[in-house]
Chain A
Amino acid sequence: MKVLVAVKRVIDAYVTVRVKADQSGVETANVKMSMNPFCEIAVEEAIRMKEAGKATEIVAVSAGPATCQETLRTALAMGADRAILIQTDAELQPLAVAKLLAAVIDKENPGLVLMGKQGIDGEHNQTGQMVAALKNWAQATFASKIEVGAGEATVTREIDGGLETLTIKLPAVVTTDLRLNEPRYASLPNIMQAKRKPLETLAPEALGVDITPRFKILKVTEPLKRQAGKKVANVDELIDKLKNEAKVI
């Protein structure tokens, strides 16, 4: 079974993100970029499937500017077999990305598509569900366990009240949650080797997809900052403040 993994390049999770003074967005100049953590989990899961003999080939796909090559090389170094970059400098919104991925899926015919549940940048949490809808495939979002069987997969999902288990028909889209696995680090030899793995570049137009933005970000602002309050000396003072000052207990 071929597994296609969609990986997004985002500002690293441990960077303190700053809003630009002109409110046009957040500061990205000289900021560390990484693979979206949920996409790392998706790549890791695909590799484990290959190690377990369930997957035969892993194709990593990213949409965005040329710098996404670096993110794809990370996926290759972790263990993906080849990569596809849908290259564009244009702003990409989730529905457009979903259409691009659906077009690549039509070319590649994977048996399973693994994606992150959300990008930690725009926090849309949409693209996987949209790909599944466009393909009229089953979806299992927020997965914490995936077992691939014959023609179907059984997936445990994180939901509001606990866990849910579904059996989905393959091919399908599965989006990853934090507890699915712990992604590996690429070893130095693997990073070197990844440089020689195939990385194909496609243009959105070649896929016949219209990526024109459908919403406009009017401004990006800083949220109101909470002020640090006071330190209390002991539990008695804390309880007294909560009762008599904040009046919340």
Chain B
Amino acid sequence: MSALVIAEHNNTALNSATLNTIAAAFKIGSSIDVLVAGHNCRSVAEQLGKTAGIAKVILVDHEAYAHHLAENLATLAARIGKGYSHILAPASFFGKNVMPRIAALLDAVQISDVTAIESADTFVRPIYAGNALATVQTTSSPVMLTVRPTAFDPASAEGGSAVIESAEGSGETGLTRFVGQELTKSERPDLQTARIVISGGRGLANGENFHKYIEPVADKLGAAIGASRAAVDAGFVPNDYQVGQTGKIVAPQLYIAVGISGAIQHLAGMKDSKVIVAINKDAEAPIFQIADYGLVADLFEALPAMEKALA
């Protein structure tokens, strides 16, 4: 058996979700190659070459892959992926976008958002916003998997010495043109890998209050900031802050939900956190049913008090 992992990166740095995906591939017990497709991205391949346990890094360095357009990348990955027993990518917006396209090109089925690997052909994945877990077996080949990063400890980025092999691109499909990106800039830790996350909901009432009440506490804790869908829809914070079934899945050591009611779609994105704190003025809010520590309080009083107490 041999597995191909599709690396997620921004041409200069590896996205750490790739290391979680490699760790999942180890559980299949196969020899592992990693595909790095991008533009001027050799440093990513070199970084991956040091990851313990990888046999080969396949580097495809071409303008066509600069922006990870699904059409170009899938055509390439389907060509390179032929012959592997398994192909894996992180279940991030990147992996979700490109993997099903590769699968269809290979006439293979995909198992999405895998949280446990039982054997080389049997996998566990959450469905219905995490209300149920499905154990799925497939005999289709290759086995296409997107992997939920929070479910696997990352592979060690040290100690390996994989060969880096350059491969040809597959050209441009000409179907899509990249126009631009608007990335949220932040000095804070990354939401998906932070040790502590503090999220705000509709209870914050406006975006200004995220600055005034959430940020000072986040600063004291060195925390990343997240949000509920209601807070994002209302424009308090950008879309990439959304935690939940259809946003980001996080599992930090400490998750603090502030002014969030605890809808099932929100819980789906954070209920695997180690310790959960809820601050809500409604003692009946469902979030308290899963919180380790609940504080029934007005957030506009509780957060400034927290900031002070943490000084």
Could you tell me which A residues sit within 8 Å of B by CB distance?
11, 13, 16-19, 26, 93-95, 98, 117-118, 120-134, 136-142, 144, 154, 158-169, 172, 177-179, 214-223, 226, 228-232, 234-236, 238-239, 241-242, 246, 248-249
Contacts and interface: CB of A to CB of B under 8 A. Distances in A.
- A125, A136, A158, A221: most-surrounded residue (chain B CB, <10 A): A125
A219 B128 contact: no
**Main secondary structure on B side of the interface with A:** mixed
B86 interface: no
Interface of B: 15, 69-71, 74, 92-94, 96-105, 107-113, 122, 126-140, 173-184, 192, 196, 221, 229, 232-233, 238-240, 245-246, 248, 253-254, 264-265, 271, 274-277, 283, 288-297, 302, 305-306, 309-310
Nearest to A127: B100
Contacts of B184: 161-162
A126 B103 contact: yes
Contacts of B294: 228-232
B128 A17 contact: yes
A210 to B, nearest CB: 11
CB-CB nearest 3 A-B residue pairs: A229-B292, A133-B104, A129-B100
Contacts of A159: 93-94, 181, 240
B179 A154 contact: yes
Contact of A95 (B109, B174, B183, B297): B109
Given A121-B128, A160-B92, A222-B132, A228 B289 contact: yes
Contacts of B174: 169
Contact of B254 (A11, A124, A249): A249
Contacts of B105: 133
A89 to B, nearest CB: 20
8 contacts: A13-B265, A121-B127, A133-B104, A159-B240, A161-B181, A217-B135, A226-B290, A228-B290
